[in-house]
Amino acid sequence: MAHPSQLGFQDAASPVMEELLHFHDHALMIVFLISTLVLYIIVAMVSTKLTNKYILDSQEIEIIWTVLPAIILILIALPSLRILYLMDEINNPLLTIKAVGHQWYWSYEYTDYEDLGFDAYMIPTQDLSPGQFRLLEADHRMVIPVESPIRVLVSADDVLHSWAVPALGIKMDAVPGRLNQTAFIASRPGIFYGQCSEICGANHSFMPIVVEAVPLEHFENWSSRMLEDA
């Protein structure tokens, strides 16, 4: 969960998000080193009147400033491609959930169960309980078992939406007439918040996503209660 004046990412709640955080730190350190080098060169050129004739026309310098950026790009590209392929991996999901975006709410269908589905609307500000978050709470949470591979099928009923949960490292576009899929593993129990990340109309900012990760036994009890109520 993000907090006021936070500068970094939210704490990772999935293995993929942990990889993304590590890659972010890796790329940021390279940017810092390049920025420091460029700043030093600028300050040195402005603050001194001395000129080195070997730098003005040097084949070796030209080779260095051609090869070095290529090496840096490779150091950034290889980890990036690795994570890109990791995010596309879907191996034997324990549970499949279909998330459909509407104007302006989400509906969820647990396709492994015969009749388990519900709509999730934002809780109005005046109905919030103490401790709940404005614009982020939904009347129904998407409950999942912890440490289990989950596949989410994402689509939309009317306009473009985007199903995004930052702590889990997920952002998948919901396109009418198209079924996109993504997968994740919640590495710890908790409640993770997200919002629609595609401008979808007047109430775009009122489409919260709440994912609750619980132990498998608690998930089975929850699903049994939901089926009984249905």
Task: Tell me, yes or no, whether 2 lies in a domain.
Answer: no
- State the pLDDT at residue 179: 94
- State the pLDDT at residue 159: 93
139 and 46 fall within a common domain: no
**Residue 182 is part of a domain; what is its CATH number?**
2.60.40.420
Q: What average pLDDT does this structure show over 148-160?
A: 94
Residue 163 has pLDDT above 90, yes or no: yes
100 and 195 fall within a common domain: yes
Q: Cβ distance 162 to 178 under 8 Å? A: no
pLDDT digit string, tens, across residues 65-75: 899 999 999 99
Task: Tell me, yes or no, whether 128 lies in a domain.
Answer: yes
What is the total count of domains within the chain?
A: 2
Q: Is 30 helix (H, G, I), strand (E, B) or coil?
A: helix
In sequence order, the β-bridge partners of residue 172 are 163
Domain hosting residue 32, numbered range = 15-88
- State the pLDDT at residue 121: 95
Last residue of a domain, one of 62, 88, 114: 88
| Cβ-based neighbours of 210, under 8 Å, separated by 6 or more | 120, 136, 137, 138, 141, 142, 191, 192, 193, 194
191 and 102 fall within a common domain: yes
- State the pLDDT at residue 222: 92
Last residue of a domain, one of 61, 88, 115: 88
